[in-house]
Amino acid sequence: MSFNIALSGIQAINEQLNTLSNNIANAGTYGFKSSRANFASVYAGDMANGVQVGSLTQNIGQNGSLQTTGRGLDAAILGRGFFASRDAQGVVSYSRVGIFNTNVDGYLVDATGNRVQGYGATVNGIMGTMGDIAIPTGQIPAVASTRVAYTGNMSADWQTPALAFDMTDANTYNMVKQSVVYDSLGNQHTVSQYFVKTTPTDVDVYYSVNGGATGAAHTLTFDVNGQITAGVTGPAIAVPAPGAAPLAINIDYTATTKFAGEATTTTNRANGYASGTFVGVELAEDGSVVAKYSNEQQQVVGTVAIATFADEGSLAPSSDTTWVANASSGAPLYSTPGSGLAGKLSKGSLEGSNVDITSELVGLMTSQRNYQANSKVITAENQMMQSLMQAL
C-alpha cells in the first residue's frame, strides 16, 4: 500500500508541477490568469489510499498589471468583465486580451482573428443591435455646408475708409477673411467677407463667392460695451454649384465683439465636408469604435461589449487566455464599458499576466521537495522488500 500512496503522491505532484510551470511560462502573456492545483485524498473504503489533484482553480478575479502600448486598437479592462468574440463556427469565447484589428472583410477582430462582439452604431439615440462590429472601410459621401460659425473682434481702433468699398482696393476695407464651404459633391467654394467700419457702432460686411462680385452689405451693430446687438445672423449667401444641389450659406456672428486693440478671429468654421476615404480605426475610452477618414472626419461605427458572469471563476478554459461559458458560470450579461458591473476601458494599454513569479518559484521548490520525499518512501519500501526477500 505504501507503494501506491507514494506513487499517487508523485503523480499528483507531477500535475502540480505542470500547473506551476505553465504559470511561470506565461508570466509575460497578456491576459493570462494563474491556476492552482488543489490536492484531495483518495480513499479505499474508510482507509486513505493516496492523493490526487482534485481540481484546478483559476485566479480569474485578480487583474494583472496595466502595460501601456500606445496603440489605438489596444484596450485593457479596468475591473470586471471580458471581451467577447465569435469564431467561424459561431462559438463565443471570452478574454481579457484587448488586441484588436480590422480584417479584410471589414470587421473588428481579436488577436486570433475571431470577430469581436459589440453594439452597432447609434441611430436617433438608440444603440444598435448586438453582434459583429462592421467597419465601413470604403469612402464616405460629402456633406454640403449650410452655415459658417464666425467669431472675432472688430477692432474699435479701425478708421473708416475714405473711399467707397471696392474689393480690389485694400484701402477701402478694414479686414478680409475667407471661409471654405462644400457643396453636395464635396467641391470646395470660398466665401470671402470684407469688413468695413462705417460708424462708431456699425461694421458693414460684403460677401464674395469664389472671387465673384459682392452684393449688398450686411450690417453688424455693436453697443457701447463692444457687444454685438444686431446682424448676428448673416443673409443667405447663394453659392453657385454646377452639377450639385443648390447651396446657400448663413454666417453666424454670435459672440463677435468690437473692442479696442488688434482685430482677431477666434472661430471661422463651416459645417459640411468633402468625401473621404477610410484611413484607420481606433477605440475610445467609452468603448466606441471610431472610424477615421482622409477628410479628417470621424464616425462611431459601434461599441465594444463587455461580458460579465455571476460566477466568472467557473468559466471553462479553451486556451491560456480565453474561456467559454457553461452552466456553472451562468449566462453572460452584456453591457457597455463602465456601465453596470462592467469595468471601464484603458485605451492604448493591455492587461498583463497576474502570475506572481516569487510565489510560483516557492511553490515549485516545495513541490520538488515533496516529490523527493515520495521518491524516498518508494526507495525505502523497495529496500525493505529486498531485505524481506533475502531473509526468506
DSSP 106: S
- Tell me, what's the pLDDT at 14? 76
CA distances for 311 relative to 168, 328, 333, 337, angstroms: 77, 7, 11, 19
- Tell me, what's the pLDDT at 1? 52
Task: Kindly tell me if the per-residue pLDDT of 49 is higher than 70.
Answer: no
Residue 356's Cβ-count burial label (10 Å; 0-12, 13-18, 19+) is: middle
Q: What is the pLDDT of residues 107-139, one digit of tens each?
A: 999 999 999 999 998 887 788 899 999 998 888
Give the number of C-alpha atoms closer than 13 A to the C-alpha of residue 373, restricted to the C-beta side.
10
Contact 177, 193 (CB under 8 A): yes
d(CA 162, CA 174): 11
Contact 37, 78 (CB under 8 A): no
DSSP 3-state helix, strand, coil percentages of the chain (rounded to 5)? Answer: 15, 40, 45
Q: What is the pLDDT of residues 316-365, one digit of tens each?
A: 988 889 999 999 999 999 999 999 889 999 999 999 999 888 887 887 78
- Tell me, what's the pLDDT at 331? 94
Task: Kindly tell me if the per-residue pLDDT of 252 is higher than 80.
Answer: yes
- Contacts (Cβ under 8 Å, ≥6 apart) of 240: 189, 209, 210, 212
d(CA 207, CA 33): 66
Residue type, position 384, single letter: M
Left, alpha or beta for 296 (phi > 0: left; psi -120 to 50: alpha)?
left
Q: What is the DSSP string of 20-81?
A: HHHHHHTTTSTT---EEEEEEEEEETTEEEEEEEEEEEE-TTS---EEE---TTBEEEESS-
Structural domains in the chain, sorted by start: 2-61+353-391 (no CATH), 66-137+279-351 (no CATH), 147-270 (2.60.98.20)
Contact 275, 142 (CB under 8 A): yes
- Tell me, what's the pLDDT at 205? 97
Contact 127, 302 (CB under 8 A): no
Contact 170, 161 (CB under 8 A): no
Percent of the chain with pLDDT over 70: 90
Count of beta carbons in the 10 Å neighbourhood of residue 266: 11
Q: 366 versus 145: which is more confidently predicted?
A: 145
When pLDDT is averaged across residues 178-187 and rounded to a whole number, the result is 95
